[in-house]
Amino acid sequence: TKQAGRNGFQLYCADMNERSMRQLKLENRLRIALSEQAFTLHYQPKIDIQRGEMIGVEALLRWQDPELGSIPPDEFIPLAEELGLIGDIGVWVINQACRQCRHWLDEGNRELKISINVSPQQLLRRDLTADISQALQQASIPARLLDLEITESCLIEDADAVADTLHQLRDQGASISMDDFGTGYSSLSLLKRIPLDNLKIDRSFVDGIGQDKNDAELVSTIILMAHNLGLKVIAEGVETPQQLDYLASLNCDQVQGYYFSKPQPATEIPALQHRDQWR
């Protein structure tokens, strides 16, 4: 405070270590990133295990700052949420993903479903339904090509309101996936209250397959439970053939991970899509 006077101020300055300086810089750059067109989307293939076919992609945000270099989303997404910037960034992501989807179709490629990550704030503080229908309309693509990845954390505050929005989106034709399943706080009873199509098993459990017996058991239990609830299961972070074999043996529906492909720039996706055998 002001009363702390000169000494207090000097103390504060001395405390401003490199980390908080970088944090401040990050904040300032992030505030202008949208207007400076510093964002791009990369796309990671999703593979249907049974068909051995790429059936969709997940859009993942990339930020390249001219001064700070490339900043990973795990660092800037939480910051964007904190600063209240995620709403506008989210709208950009939705529009960009829909435009890209249209572009691939115009090039004559097969239809690909596109998954978009949605932050809790987008579900709770914005008219997400309106944002999405506008984007779909402008790009002229059907809602069935859109999948929304939500996390358990969006159910903590107002699960009923979120459920309403998700019902609307689903009525339009989009599908809904629960991301990072198993890492949040939501209960199974909450899961039952929202409309869901897919459940994504978190990478941390997939990592343990072949190493940690408990993880393998958990994965098996999650797949059984999800199927019993009528959901499709997608495993993220698949890196080895052993993990794939185990997941296939449990009738996991889809897989995604470095074993198949890292997230790629949009221009790389058609060639991957035309590859005929993924397994």
Q: Which is nearer to ligand C2E, 191 or 244 (CB)?
A: 244
Task: Identify residues 246-275 at the interface with ligand C2E (CB under 6 A).
Answer: 257-258, 263
Judged by CB under 6 A, the residue of 237, 243, 254, 255 near ligand C2E is: 237
Q: How far is CA 178 from the centre of its chain?
A: 10
Q: Based on CB atoms, which residue is closest to ligand C2E, 182 or 237?
A: 237
Q: Which does 52 bind (CB under 5 to 8 A by kind): Ca ion, ligand C2E, none?
A: none
Cβ-count burial 151-187 (b if 16+ within 10 Å, e if not): bbebbeeebeebeebbebbbeeebbbbbbbbbebebe
Piece of the chain touching ligand C2E by CB under 6 A; list 21-29, 227-235, 236-244, 271-279: 236-244
For ligand C2E, the binding residue among 30, 54, 57, 77 (CB under 6 A) is 77
The Cα 104–Cα 111 span in angstroms is 8
**Residue 83 binds to ligand C2E (criterion: CB under 6 A):** no
Contacts made by residues 130-138, CB under 8 angstroms, sequence distance 24+: 131/90, 131/91, 131/94, 132/94, 132/169, 132/172, 132/174, 133/172, 135/91, 135/94, 135/95, 135/97, 135/98, 136/98, 136/172, 138/95, 138/98, 138/99
Residue 44 or 273 with smaller CB distance to ligand C2E: 44
Show the site string, 107-146: x = touches ligand C2E by CB under 6 A, - = not: ----------x-x---------------------------
177 makes contact with ligand C2E (CB under 6 A): no
